[in-house]
Amino acid sequence: MSSGIGFAVDGHIARVTLDRPKALNSINAEMDLALFEAWTEINNNPDIWVAVLSATGEKAFCAGADVSGTGGGAGRRMALGGGLTGVGGPLLTLRKPLVAAVQGYAIGGGFELAMCADIIVAADTTKFGIPETKVGIIGEAGIMHRAIRQLPHHIALAMILTGDRIDVHQAERYGLVNEVVPYEKLDETATLWAERIASASPLAVQAAKDAVLSRAGWPLETALATRYEPIEAYEYSADRLEGRKAFAEKRNAVWTGR
């Protein structure tokens, strides 16, 4: 794949694959643009309800930005990861749930890309790292801001200040990943998570994600007092009516995402 990115849709699940294994799936300008296009399609296509981000090869999920040259290219300014990380350009908000299937090295921008996911499934080979201070290349601090929010305070600071990595079992203990599996079961397990999410009302899932993340850094009183337009709009959707009908008829709902 010339872009270094694979994109496919299987039912209601979109599959995005980092595909530069010889470069440890590091992200160059062409991949950034392809990722931006993938996230945009996922956001805009009502028949896509959940996405899975994975990578080719057992050695690495992603080693971060390709130091030989990164950025949006073609005159387009965007953040790393097609805009998903918010590092180096405008942040792209993915409205659909994202499951990351991570293996091997997830370091620097690759670690941050994984932390952008809503669910992280990790192979037992995975190692997470923030190497910036160790190698003296610190720039935008996006990965550090995410790490301090997703890991215990002292664990995150130890990783940031030393550049040392943590293995997947430490990551699981700290609540960073949802499930650890053998590498051979990584894709299967990520798909099962995606299918579980897709079995719920897609509009309700998207509204819930929007509400939770849009007020995650705000005081509880503010979050409780906020009106959430996607939740209000859901009340008048066909899926809301189908949910009520299915509950009354004691059957599984048939969602349309409309």
3-state SS, the chain, equals: CCCCEEEEEECCEEEEEECCHHHCCCECHHHHHHHHHHHHHHHHCCCCCEEEEEECCCCEEECCECCCCCCCCCCCCCCCCCCCCCCCCCCCCCCCCEEEEECEEEECHHHHHHHCCCEEEEECCCEEECCHHHHCCCCCCHHHHHHHHHCCHHHHHHHHHHCCCEEHHHHHHCCCCCEEECHHHHHHHHHHHHHHHHCCCHHHHHHHHHHHHHCCCCCHHHHHHCCCHHHHHHCCCHHHHHHHHHHHCCCCCCCCCC
Residues 58-87: tens digit of each pLDDT = 999 999 988 765 444 445 567 899 999 988
Instruction: Report the pLDDT averaged over residues 86-91.
Output: 86
Asked whether 21 and 45 are in contact (CB, 8 A), the reply is: no
Say if residues 143 and 159 touch (Cβ distance below 8 Å): no
pLDDT on residue 1: 45
Which residue is associated with the tokens 């949802």? 178
Residues with a known catalytic role? 112, 132
- What's the gap between Cα 207 and its chain centre? 17
What domains are there in the chain, each with its CATH number?
Answer: 5-198 (3.90.226.10), 201-249 (1.10.12)
pLDDT exceeds 80 at position 151: yes
Over residues 37-41, the mean pLDDT reads 97
What's the chain's average pLDDT? 92
pLDDT at 72: 42
Tell me the pTM: 0.92
Judge whether residue 134 has pLDDT over 50.
Answer: yes
Distance of alpha carbon 91 from alpha carbon 14, whole angstroms? 20
pLDDT interval class at 109 (50, 70, 90):
very high
Q: Is a pLDDT exceeding 90 seen at residue 118?
A: yes
The pLDDT value given to residue 73: 45
Q: What is the pLDDT of residue 143?
A: 87
Order of all β-strands in the sheet with 13-18: 5-10, 13-18, 50-55, 98-102, 119-123, 179-181
Q: Which backbone phi and psi does 137 adopt, to 5 degrees? A: -120, 25
- pLDDT tier for residue 142 given thresholds of 50, 70 and 90: confident
What is the share, in percent, of the chain residues with pLDDT greater than 70?
A: 95
